[in-house]
Amino acid sequence: MTSIAIDMTDGLSSSTAIKGPCRVATTANITLSGLQTIDGIALAAGDRVLVKNQTTGSQNGIWIADTGTWRRSKDFNKTRDVRKGTQILITDGTINASSGWYVSTEDPIDVGTTAIVFTQNILLNGAALVALEAAAAASAADAATSETAAETAETNAEAAEAVATGLASSFILSENTFDTKATAAAWSPVAAPNFIRTAGALAADDGSGVVFVQGSGNGGFSINLSGGGSQAYKPAKERGYDIRLFGAGPARTAAQNTAALLLARSYTTELWVPPLDAGEYFDVDEETTLLDHTKIRGAGWHSRIRQTARTKNIFISGDHCSFEGLHLIGDNLLTGADFTKNNGIYASGKHGVTVQNCFGEKFEGCGVQLRGCKDYKVVNNTFFANPWGSFATSGDIVIYSFADAGRGVISGNSCLSNNSQGIYADVIGYDADIIIANNIVVTLDPATCIEGGAWTEAVGDYAGTPASVRRRHGIGVGYNSSNVDGPRSTIIGNICRNTRWTGIYKQGFSAAGGGVLIIGNRCSKNGLEQANSLNGGIYVNATGEDVVSGNMISDFQSTGAGVGGITITAGTAPTRPTKIHGNLISNSMGQGISVGTHAAYIDIDRNEIVGSATTDIFISNSAAAGNGGHTIRGNMIKRTSGNNINGIRIATPTTSLITTVEGNYIEGFDNSNADAANAGISTNNPLVTRVLRNHIKNFNVAVTSTVYFTAGTRYVDQVLEGNIIEDCTSGFGLASTTNTAVVPVVGNRFINVTNKTAAGSTATGLAGTKCGYICRKDNDRLVVLELTAAPTVGTWAAGDRCEFVAPATWAAAGTVCSVAGNPGTWA
């Protein structure tokens, strides 16, 4: 740990951002030797001098006066001692007594090489000097116990700067203070002061309530000196102009505060909203449209600006505007008719808007609404208690564009309101290239979201009160189909909880190459409204190239048909695949994964589904060409309740596209109930369903068809192969309306199975004729196993064989079909 030595002459010997005071500061170039008079003060040996006016700027710094050659002070002679913002106080002098100066040269600074520039802080009065001297003493004390003294010093330097800035609105009146800029410009002093202040805060008076420093700049003026010459002045700033300098204040009217913001906007592009005491607000009654490149900052929760008028935003952003550390508050009313109003921050057609570390509440529209904007960042904000009135698209953060837009980052926000949705991007279909990452979107009871409140979740499906859940979606992307080859967006690492419909909602069609990545999110307690077809922990209109991967979906609430932890649908049959990979779905009160309507080419791979109340993977396509063609591979399914529920149900009527069910582990809850739905894998279109290499355990029947094989034919291309069937009453439940159908069941392993094949059942529960045969295949010929004699039913081809079970001694081991037919001729 760095040690701190304090010396009356050399100050703090460690690096620190607040130096020990100097007796005087130079006013012109000097010789760095001998005792001399500076700023009216005769120096003594050992006096500390702030040298700031040298022709050779690298000579500037703190020096120790001596009868001979001066030396640099030990606290200002090494590179580590100095950085931009380093503060020095002056105690004596005709001009510079009780003044403060800071290093304004950009880092890094090499003492003796870098030309160092010192800039005077806003004029200090006695109280300010005491405060800054106390800050300097605190810096030394804190640094002595700090692991890193440089960090402590930097922190206190910022504190000192804050002290100086805060005093800008409470200067003692002096001969340098005027009511307006016009009266200041008419002043003719003998010598130009460092600062001129205009007091008042009269909105009608241009330039009231501002501090001006020497120099030319926008919003400035010049004075003529009575001794000859002139001096230009420009508005001063530190972290930004305190809006109180322009007349804003918690005791001012909303109209006065609005006028102050408009006045401030005309003077500067950097504004500071100071913190207020509890219960105080900067009330406004009009919108403030910011000029391009404006930066407005506050101290967080206590920097409160409240809109008191209906149909008004607080801020309308220009290009490349930045909002940081503000607490914006709406009027909490629900009578709006214009969605572009009643927002905390609104921007239309702008570039580079940044909103960070802000709070937003009580806006009927949105906390932040961006339309047609590009290259924006909405990061690390907290939105709460924003109500839902007449706008179905209301949300904490909404991206709503009618022209090509996008390239945005929405990250690290807490969206805790009970409005329509937390984050809604690409609503109309013109936004693309958006990252929505690491946000927390949870529906809270707004009555509890107050300072010192409990901030508790709203409870139950909407029952007409704000304490029940009204929010529909946590995060939504692409309500309309993309018009700009998008959305090309990524939704990653978010928490979405306690919603009526969905945690994450992707609705519109994605363009080719414009799919959405939904990765690594946690969605829980979604689907509180039971009878809604849009429910899902994650809901995707799977038009192709969307990826849903690595998400955790738990406690999905809806028991409605056709919805689940992950709900996949499509308005028309897509031709490009959507991937549902590696998700964990637990304790869904509906289905685990639900694939409906016109969905096609869905790749459901390596998901884990545990504890679903209804079917774990349900494919329920409408009867239309182009649907189906799914792959269900490598999933782990474990049922913890229900002995009349399918593990996987394939309902793809009339389609010719093959659905493959391969390599899944499917474990049922109770194999004793002889219900048609107590099946590991069930299909209503077996001719396009391939079932292979699955491990199916503890169902009444492992694999079943709920429709008959109706043709009297030999289904040699049917794939029911290589599965492990364990602890099931029946292995394959396959039935026909005729005894001439032959369905080969090839290469399966049966463990503790009562009947390897059995008659299946239709959806009405009517049993047909068993048509499944345990076989192996020899090219396109069947070798029937486990019969004791030649078949007497079924359709067979010449060359098919039958190997008898345990033939008698010297009896034939089997038989061969020599003439095809039903059952053909066997020899």
Q: Dump pLDDT digits (tens) for 554-610.
A: 999 999 889 999 999 987 878 888 999 999 999 999 999 999 878 899 999 999 999
Residues 525 and 567 reside in one and the same domain: yes
Residues 797 and 769 reside in one and the same domain: no
- Judged against a pLDDT cut of 60, whether residue 165 lies above it is answered with no
**Structural domain boundaries enclosing 790:** 779-826
Residues 194 and 295 reside in one and the same domain: no
Decide if 578 contacts 604 (C-beta within 8 A): no
End-of-domain residue from the set 168, 191, 219: 168
End-of-domain residue from the set 187, 208, 236: 236
> Which of residues 524 and 336 earns the better pLDDT score?
524
**Greatest distance between any 2 Cα atoms in the chain:** 137
pLDDT at 147: 38
State the average pLDDT over residues 108-115. 91
Residues 390 and 287 reside in one and the same domain: yes
End-of-domain residue from the set 168, 187, 221: 168
pLDDT class of 187 with cuts at 50, 70, 90 = confident
- Judged against a pLDDT cut of 70, whether residue 174 lies above it is answered with no
- Judged against a pLDDT cut of 80, whether residue 148 lies above it is answered with no
Helix %, strand %, coil % of the chain (to 5): 10, 35, 55
Q: How many CB atoms lie within 10 A of CB 643?
A: 18
State the average pLDDT over residues 526-543. 92
Alpha carbons 575 and 470: distance in angstroms, whole number:
36
State the average pLDDT over residues 355-373. 97
Alpha carbons 648 and 616: distance in angstroms, whole number:
6
Residues 650 and 571 reside in one and the same domain: yes
Domain-embedded: residue 362: yes
pLDDT at 128: 45
Of 107-121, 580-594, 812-826, the range with the lowest mean pLDDT is 107-121
Measured at the CA of 401, the angle between CA 395 and CA 405, to 5 degrees, comes to 120
Strands (DSSP E) contained in 294-438 are 295-298, 304-307, 315-316, 322-324, 327-329, 345-348, 354-356, 359-361, 366-371, 374-379, 382-384, 395-399, 405-411, 414-415, 421-425, 431-437
Domain-embedded: residue 252: no
Residues 395 and 477 reside in one and the same domain: yes
Reference 382, options 368, 370, 372; nearest CA is 368
Q: Which two tokens stand for residue 823?
A: 């059952």
Residues 762 and 796 reside in one and the same domain: no
Residues 385 and 533 reside in one and the same domain: yes
| pLDDT tens profile 3-58 | 334 444 555 444 466 888 999 999 999 999 999 999 999 999 999 999 999 999 99
Domain-embedded: residue 608: yes
Q: State the total domains in the chain.
A: 4
Alpha carbons 360 and 423: distance in angstroms, whole number:
14
Q: What is the CATH number of the domain that holds 514?
A: 2.160.20
Arithmetic mean of pLDDT over the chain: 87
Determine the residue type at 540: V
Residues 146 and 182 reside in one and the same domain: no
Reference 370, options 343, 337, 348, 344; nearest CA is 348
Decide if 468 contacts 521 (C-beta within 8 A): no
Q: Where are the alpha helices (DSSP H) in 82-236?
A: 126-144, 149-166, 181-185
Domain-embedded: residue 560: yes
Domain-embedded: residue 498: yes
State the average pLDDT over residues 59-66. 94
Per residue, what are the HEC states of 23-35?
A: CEECCCCCCCECC
Measured at the CA of 821, the angle between CA 816 and CA 826, to 5 degrees, comes to 25
Residues 442 and 379 reside in one and the same domain: yes
pLDDT class of 236 with cuts at 50, 70, 90 = low
Domain-embedded: residue 367: yes
pLDDT at 72: 92
Domain-embedded: residue 622: yes
> Which of residues 540 and 242 earns the better pLDDT score?
540
Decide if 743 contacts 760 (C-beta within 8 A): no
For 371: left if phi > 0, alpha if psi spans -120 to 50, otherwise beta; the answer is: beta
Contacts of range 27-30, beta carbons closer than 8 Å, 24 or more positions apart: 27/53, 27/95, 27/96, 28/53, 29/53, 29/54, 29/55, 30/54
Residues 768 and 819 reside in one and the same domain: no
- Judged against a pLDDT cut of 60, whether residue 129 lies above it is answered with no
Cβ contacts of 640 within 8 Å, gap of 6 or more: 610, 611, 669
Q: How far is CA 43 from CA 39, 93, 294, 364, in A?
A: 10, 11, 46, 66
Decide if 695 contacts 668 (C-beta within 8 A): no
Backbone φ and ψ for 730, nearest 5 degrees, come out as -130, 150
Task: Supply the pTM of this predicted model.
Answer: 0.74
Alpha carbons 252 and 279: distance in angstroms, whole number:
14
Cβ contacts of 623 within 8 Å, gap of 6 or more: 653, 654, 655
Alpha carbons 192 and 667: distance in angstroms, whole number:
89
- Judged against a pLDDT cut of 60, whether residue 146 lies above it is answered with no
Determine the residue type at 765: G
Domain-embedded: residue 248: no
Residues 623 and 670 reside in one and the same domain: yes
